Structure formats: structure tokens, C-alpha cells
Amino acid sequence: MRKLKQSLLVIALLAVSAWSFAAGKTEEKAVAAPAADKNITLTIAASQNWLKEIDREISKDFTAETGIKIDIQVNPDDQYPAILQTKMNTGETPDIFYYSAGLTLKKLPLDKVLDLSQEPWAKRMKDWAVKGSTIDGRLVALNLWSVDGWAFVYNTALFDKLGLKAPTNYSELLAVCETIKKNGVVPIYELVGDMWHTPLYLNQAAADASMNNPGLYEKLNTNKAKFAEIKEFQLCVSRMKEMADKGYLGETYMSNTWTNAIEAVGTGKYAMFFGYTSWQNEVARDYPQSGANNFKMFPSPLGVEGTAKSFATSAGGTVALINKDSKNVEAAKKYFEYRTRPEVLKKYYDQRADLNSNPSFPEVEAKPTVGLSSISKQVNNNFLADAQAGVLFYDLMPIGEEMQSMFAGVITPEQALKNIDAYRAKIGKSAGITGF
């Protein structure tokens, strides 16, 4: 009897395992439709937060029209680049994969990426989107994102209540933070532990530095200039540490996470957040009473001695590329053509409140947020390329690791910049870039 019970238990466990496996495998498969390409399955890889429900919905529509199935493979944000590189090195490159726009694309083996320059939609893409997807004269990616930048999003209702104005320089920022802190609100929500966020402040400092030193990015890319020697970077990191030490980032900034940022600001516990221009839409969606639709923005003054005069913008967020060696290249091109139809673009951007401030195609109406309008006015539309767009090997995670060490008190701000230079030097040397 005991043996029978044990056997039944084992059989039940195996059955549950088999069912779970089968259920998990079919989760991302779209419903097939009668069409000539119904035996093709396109694999699309991306970081987990880059693709939303609307991407899956559009993929299902594509399958219904063409019969081509879509298999979406998402990976944790911090591990996606490594996973993608592994797949590319082992010959398992997905048919379509997403990556960060701009110079970062050079980390990919671009000889294995399809040239999209002659695609019919290529001529329709906005200039900034083409620029961020072009490497060595080849258009290698489709941009379905937005050009955006990171700045301080602030709770305008709280500022009005406390009689505060948006700061234009560092001294004013300190004064604003002190007033907010005295009134029982944490001035700034920061997430040092997530590592990728703190380097974004240096993005702005880089734009400020490039404005004051024309040709700086080229010098950084040939190792003729170093982060540790640039005044704007020195100011930025030392001021970030100073603000943390003064308590303006709260008590838990070392372990805060991105996923709690919306709640932190939406509930009024924190007054400001270093976010992108459409971030306030997401706060307004989850916390309508917060008045987030009226939040405004101001550029980070951490890297300048006087007034902040520029807004650093990206090379275009994330882009989609096609594996040149894929067996389904034509199907992948069909998918890109489908995604770039005006009606599909409109449907997509309507659901992407985080991207519709400046869509990549002109057929879709831009819906700039109050934040973007306020910052544009403050800097007189002086938008400049940020570090990620213009500086080689500006990798957020390794740089964020040095920033984390700085905030933890393990190294000084000066040492953090030297370590960033050392990291870039070793990568540059590996890549055989002249000067490194």
C-alpha cells in the first residue's frame, strides 16, 4: 500500500511538471492563420521592460494577417546584453533583437546585422532616429522609440505649496531640497542599487561639457581626454555625493528600486525624480490624484557652475535589428514593414505613453508632456547629444558600479571617475581603438 502511494505521488509530480512545461512553452505563441508563411516562426529578443502588451498585440495582428508566428523572448534588464552576446557567439542569434541606439551598437558584430538602408520605411524615419540607428554609413536598425532625455521631474503642486521655483543652478537646487526636507518630504528619489540610473546624471554633465568644449566627445573616443580631468564630471559626481550626505536622497537610496519610483513620487513621499520626459504620464496613470500631468521638469545643474543651459538627449532609446544570417530574413523584413505602417504606428504610440512625446515617424502626432515643454523653454530648445549617444564605451552598469562604490563610501568621487577611465581604457584596448 505504501509503495502504491509513493508511486502515485511520483506520477502526480511528473504530470504537474509536464503540464507546467507545456503551458510555459506556449505562452508567447500567437494563433496561426491560414497563409503561405504559416510554418515560419520569428524569434524576437528584448530586455523585459522594453516590450509591452501593445507589442504582443501588434504581433498577434501580424500573425493573423500573414500567418507568420512570433515568439517573443524577454530577459532580465541587467542580463540581456550578456545573454544576447552569448546567443550571437553560439550561432543562436534571434531573427530580430532589440538593442540600445547610438554608439553602443558598435558592441555588436555588425557584419552579422542586416543593412536596412534600402527598406521603404527608412526614408520616412525622422533624422534623429536614422542617426541613432546608423553605424559607418549603414542603417542597421528600426527605431520604434522616442528621443528623450533625463531631467528632474518635480511635483509642481508641492513646489507651489512651499513657494518654490524650479532651480536653475546648483545653489538653488540645494536650497529647494533643504526646504522640502524641512517640510517632511524626501527631496529626491534615487536608486543607487539598480546601478544603471546614477550614470544618467553624467549623461547631462557630458552634454554640458561638450557645449563648453567643442570636439570633446571625439577626444574622449580617442583617449585624448579623460573623465577624471573634465571639470563638469568632477562637479557632477562630487555634488551627487554631497546631496546624499546631506540627506536629500532619503535614507534608503542605496536599496531603492526603479519599480517603486512611480509610487514614491505619486504618493507624495518624494518630491522629485530624475526621469525621462514622459515618465510623468506613467505616474498620472497609476496615481491620478497626484496631479502628475502637470509635473514640470528642469535640467540637472550638477555639472555646471552657473545656470544649466542644455538638455541632454539620447540617440533614440532602443532599436530593433535583423539577424543577417537568419533563415527568416524576408519574414523579418515583412514584420518591420508591418510595424511601420502609419495606422500600426499610431496604434502603437497611442499605447506607449512613455514614448509619444517624440515618435520616430512623422505620421504620428507628437504629444509632448508638460515636463518636456517646460524644459524646452528653460534651455531654449538647446538639445545636445548625451554621453550614451556620443561617447564610446559609456556602459551604464560598469559606470553605475563605480558610482555605487562612491555612494557607499568605499571610494572617493575622484577615484570613481578614474575607475571609469580605467574601465573605458581596458575596453578600448580590447577593441583596438586608436589611442587606448
Cα 328 to Cα 94: distance, rounded to the nearest angstrom: 10
Stretch binding other proteins (CB under 8 A), from 82-90, 132-140, 174-182, 201-209: 82-90
Contact present, 357 and 366 (Cβ < 8 Å): yes
Work out which of 49, 89, 267, 380 binds other proteins, going by CB under 8 A.
89
Cα 243 to Cα 231: distance, rounded to the nearest angstrom: 18
CB of 338 to other proteins, least distance (A): 31
CB of 431 to other proteins, least distance (A): 4
Work out which of 125, 166, 192, 302 binds other proteins, going by CB under 8 A.
192
CB of 85 to other proteins, least distance (A): 6
Cα 38 to Cα 31: distance, rounded to the nearest angstrom: 10
Under the binding rule (CB under 8 A), the answer on residue 373 touching other proteins is no
Q: Which CA distances in Å does 278 have to 48, 380, 383?
A: 19, 19, 16
* Closer by beta carbon to other proteins, 211 or else 433: 433
Under the binding rule (CB under 8 A), the answer on residue 251 touching other proteins is yes
Q: Coil, strand or helix: which one is 74?
A: strand
Total number of residues that touch other proteins (CB under 8 A)? 32
Work out which of 41, 73, 75, 85 binds other proteins, going by CB under 8 A.
85
> Quick one: which of 299, 318, 278 has its CA closest to 205?
299
Work out which of 12, 15, 82, 366 binds other proteins, going by CB under 8 A.
82
Stretch binding other proteins (CB under 8 A), from 119-127, 128-136, 362-370, 392-400: 392-400
Under the binding rule (CB under 8 A), the answer on residue 410 touching other proteins is yes
DSSP secondary structure letter of residue 146: B
> Grid cell 513621499 — which residue?
269
Cα 46 to Cα 51: distance, rounded to the nearest angstrom: 7
Work out which of 10, 12, 13, 431 binds other proteins, going by CB under 8 A.
431
C-alpha cell at 75: 530577459
Under the binding rule (CB under 8 A), the answer on residue 426 touching other proteins is yes
* Closer by beta carbon to other proteins, 223 or else 293: 223
Contact present, 244 and 161 (Cβ < 8 Å): no
Under the binding rule (CB under 8 A), the answer on residue 252 touching other proteins is yes
381: phi > 0 → left, psi -120 to 50 → alpha, else beta; which? Answer: left
DSSP secondary structure letter of residue 392: T
Which residues have CB under 8 Å from 379's CB, separation 6+? 299, 308, 309, 310, 311
Under the binding rule (CB under 8 A), the answer on residue 195 touching other proteins is yes
Under the binding rule (CB under 8 A), the answer on residue 409 touching other proteins is yes
* Closer by beta carbon to other proteins, 54 or else 254: 254
Q: Got the DSSP string for 238-260? A: HHHHHHHHTTTT-S-TTT--GGG
Work out which of 63, 278, 388, 404 binds other proteins, going by CB under 8 A.
404
Work out which of 21, 92, 109, 120 binds other proteins, going by CB under 8 A.
109
Longest dimension (CA), the chain: 84
69: phi > 0 → left, psi -120 to 50 → alpha, else beta; which? Answer: beta
* Closer by beta carbon to other proteins, 24 or else 432: 432
Stretch binding other proteins (CB under 8 A), from 10-18, 75-83, 211-219, 272-280: 75-83
Cα 404 to Cα 401: distance, rounded to the nearest angstrom: 5
How many of the other CB atoms lie within 10 Å of CB of 252? 16
Under the binding rule (CB under 8 A), the answer on residue 254 touching other proteins is yes
Q: Coil, strand or helix: which one is 406?
A: helix
Binding mask 262-291 for other proteins (x = CB under 8 A): ------------------------------
Under the binding rule (CB under 8 A), the answer on residue 136 touching other proteins is no
Work out which of 16, 19, 430, 435 binds other proteins, going by CB under 8 A.
430
Under the binding rule (CB under 8 A), the answer on residue 17 touching other proteins is no
Under the binding rule (CB under 8 A), the answer on residue 353 touching other proteins is no
Under the binding rule (CB under 8 A), the answer on residue 9 touching other proteins is no
Under the binding rule (CB under 8 A), the answer on residue 27 touching other proteins is no
Q: Which H or E run contains 66?
A: helix 53-66
Work out which of 193, 247, 291, 368 binds other proteins, going by CB under 8 A.
193
Work out which of 407, 413, 417, 420 binds other proteins, going by CB under 8 A.
407
Cα 288 to Cα 152: distance, rounded to the nearest angstrom: 20
Cα 286 to Cα 271: distance, rounded to the nearest angstrom: 16
**Contact footprint for other proteins (CB under 8 A):** 78-79, 81-82, 85, 89, 106-107, 109, 192-193, 195, 251-252, 254-255, 395, 397-398, 401, 404-405, 407-411, 426-427, 430-432
